[in-house]
Amino acid sequence: MLPATAGDPITGLKWTRKTTLKISEELRKLDIQVSARTVARLLECLKYRLRVNHKKLSGGTACTRGQRNQQFQCIEAMRQSFAQRGLPVISVDTKKELIGCLRNAGAVWAKIATPTNDHDFRSDASHIASPYGVFDPLANRGHVFVGISHDTPAFATDCVSRWWNTDGRAHYPKADKLLILADSGGSNGSRCRAWKHGLMTKLCMSHGLQVTVCHYPSGASKWNPIEHRLFSQISRNWAGEPLLTLETMLNFIRTTKTETGLRVRATLMKGNYPKGLKPTPAEMTKLSIQPHEVLPDWNYTIAASPKM
């Protein structure tokens, strides 16, 4: 047991990599006749416990890990600055969901279980939906734009622009600045030129907004407010229910509520968003972007008018 034993020096709890059946077999080699169940009871008496993996180690490169706290502090300062001035702050992200008679994780109270396909193949799905969420943490309101094409920068910036037209402008009629909190990868990644160009053309030039973007470091997306304040609540609402159709999905999103006042809207985006479209070098030269002094790769402001 000793070579396969690990433990916690603070609590004194111990655990082993060997199964109770293997321990029982090894004990039989020593003429000690004991069953696997008895071994389990003896291990509990010796303060061994069943253990699972814990996600506690931060990922990313050494450089990224050293900048995480600095970026978190920068994001918090920026959020407070915008909130104190009554300016809008939104958290954005996107997911992937298979639509069809496919199993959905979770459980629901029912007399009988809902039958679904025995395998969750993408080919069996009627659609591969891309719900792009825009969450306003100050108002505790969310708007999810469900795309049925590709999750591209053009799609992401269209969703943010639609949010401003349907929600943002009404709640913040005097605002001329917008703060966006986003992950560092995907369609709204920190290195994505099409994302930045789309913000300039669809928000800055079209609506006269000055857009500031702060990206969460790689591996830190779970701190993005939309993850634990919007998407988690939507997943809880449809837990155990197959997303049979797009309308089913939209209804679950629209009926997501919490006791703290969360309300969610949902819009189906029917447009086609092909992959691989990028702004030309000439278009990028007109991009009026100001990197911040603190971690400029993750923090920047796009002006309301392009460079001339």
Q: Sketch out the chain's domains with CATH numbers.
A: 2-45 (no CATH), 66-107+116-302 (3.30.420.10)
Rounded mean pLDDT, 157-167: 98
User: How far lies 8's CA from each of 5, 54, 219, in Å?
Assistant: 11, 14, 27
**Percentage of the chain modeled with pLDDT above 70:** 90
User: How far lies 281's CA from each of 78, 189, 265, in Å?
Assistant: 31, 19, 37
Handedness of CA 33, 35, 36, 40 (dihedral sign): negative
Interval 172-222: pLDDT, tens: 999 999 999 999 999 999 999 999 999 999 999 999 999 999 999 998 988
Interval 124-152: pLDDT, tens: 999 999 999 999 999 999 999 999 999 99
**Other Cβ atoms within 10 Å of 297 Cβ, number:** 13
Query: Poorest-confidence range of 39-48, 251-260, 271-280, 284-293?
Result: 39-48
What local confidence, expressed as pLDDT, does residue 16 receive?
52
**Longest alpha-carbon distance in the chain:** 88
User: Which one-letter amino acid corresponds to residue 19?
Assistant: T
Task: Give ∠ CA 225-227-228 in degrees, rounded to 5.
Answer: 75
- Highest-scoring range by mean pLDDT, 34-43, 48-57, 167-176: 167-176
User: Which one-letter amino acid corresponds to residue 103?
Assistant: R
Q: pTM to 2 decimals?
A: 0.82
Cα–Cα dist 273/279, whole Å? 14
